[in-house]
Amino acid sequence: MSTSPCFIRFGMILSVATLCITAILTTGSSFAENTSETGALLSESGALRDPALERSARVEGFIKQARVTKKETDTLRTQVRDRRLKRIAHSEECRKQMRKENRDSLFPMTLNCLRGDLMFNLDILRKERTFVEKAAGVPDLVRQTALSAIDALSDAITAVIDGIDTGVYASAAELTEAKKNLMERYRSPYWTAMTQFRTERLQTWIAHLLVQADPILASVSEGSGALLKTFEACLMQEEKTLTAASAATDHASAEAGLAKAQTALAACVRAFLPAKKIEPPKEEAVSSSSAPTLPRRVLLHQRR
């Protein structure tokens, strides 16, 4: 039996989206999900919600914006990745040098290494901020929250650099306290905001796929559309997972929800694409989250 042109078209759309979703593994308004007694979704006011209408509103203009900003966001994502790798190389070199220092020279070397690391961090944040401004598929409130978190962390890092330059930190204890302050007051909110940013962007891709699938499912018989129906159910399930992750107030919960959805979505895509025998295109991916795909060792290092 030949494959329906509609299925082929959806498969190609899915292939492009898959590349973008994969890139987000490194990234509409969220809502608290309520249900009526019949299981229908309710808004915060208690009115019945129409998920299909919400998805259509969410993806309006999404692909057009993604195409317009593709080249710029791809470049920014590459620049962020390169700077992160340079930052890691700097940290590794510093660790080697500090092993050679004596007791008297260790603290000055620590200050110098921290200053270099923070300069790299600041440069990354500048590029990341531009990416967040340009990236398609993110609600304005989530985008603004991410931008505010980036700005707050950038200002705090600049203050620490200035403190190093002017001799504010006279001991290792004072430096440790400054780093702790950075972590608790600025880095943690930044991580939470950027995880929400990636989560919302992934939700928009899911909404786009579901909107594309609706007319195809409406035009095929129940038997011939069974595979697509299964895929649709998987997308809807992970849409709920991402909604909960986006609403999480702490980074650990948000990151766990995002990771769970990413793993499940990868399995959904693998199940659908081979069955349709469609090869993902090589050149059509739209850029995604500012966080690049890096080895686990590198990602763990970045959180220090």
Buried b (16+ CB within 10 A) or exposed e, 177-216: ebeeebeeebbbbbbbbbbbbbbbbbbbbbbbbbbbbeeb
Q: Which is more confident, 14 or 132?
A: 132
User: Could you identify the residue written with the tokens 């600049």?
Assistant: 158
Q: At what angle do helices 251-276 and 188-219 cross, to 10 degrees?
A: 30
Element (H, E) at 42: strand 41-42
* Longest distance between any two alpha carbons in the chain, whole Å: 78
pLDDT in tens, 145-193: 999 999 999 999 999 999 999 999 999 999 999 999 999 999 999 999 9
The CA-CA-CA angle for residues 197, 203, 209, to 5°, reads 145
- Domain map of the chain by residue range? 5-302
Under the banding of pLDDT at 50, 70 and 90, the label for residue 212 is confident
Residue 279 pLDDT greater than 80, yes or no: no
The CA-CA-CA angle for residues 170, 176, 177, to 5°, reads 90
Residue 39 pLDDT greater than 50, yes or no: no
Under the banding of pLDDT at 50, 70 and 90, the label for residue 130 is very high
pLDDT in tens, 243-273: 899 888 888 888 999 999 988 888 888 877 6
* Mean pLDDT score across all residues of the chain: 77
pLDDT given for residue 281 in this prediction: 36
pLDDT given for residue 142 in this prediction: 94
Residue 18 pLDDT greater than 90, yes or no: no
Average pLDDT over residues 116-132: 94
Cα–Cα dist 286/66, whole Å: 6
Cα–Cα dist 265/76, whole Å: 26
Cα–Cα dist 141/87, whole Å: 30
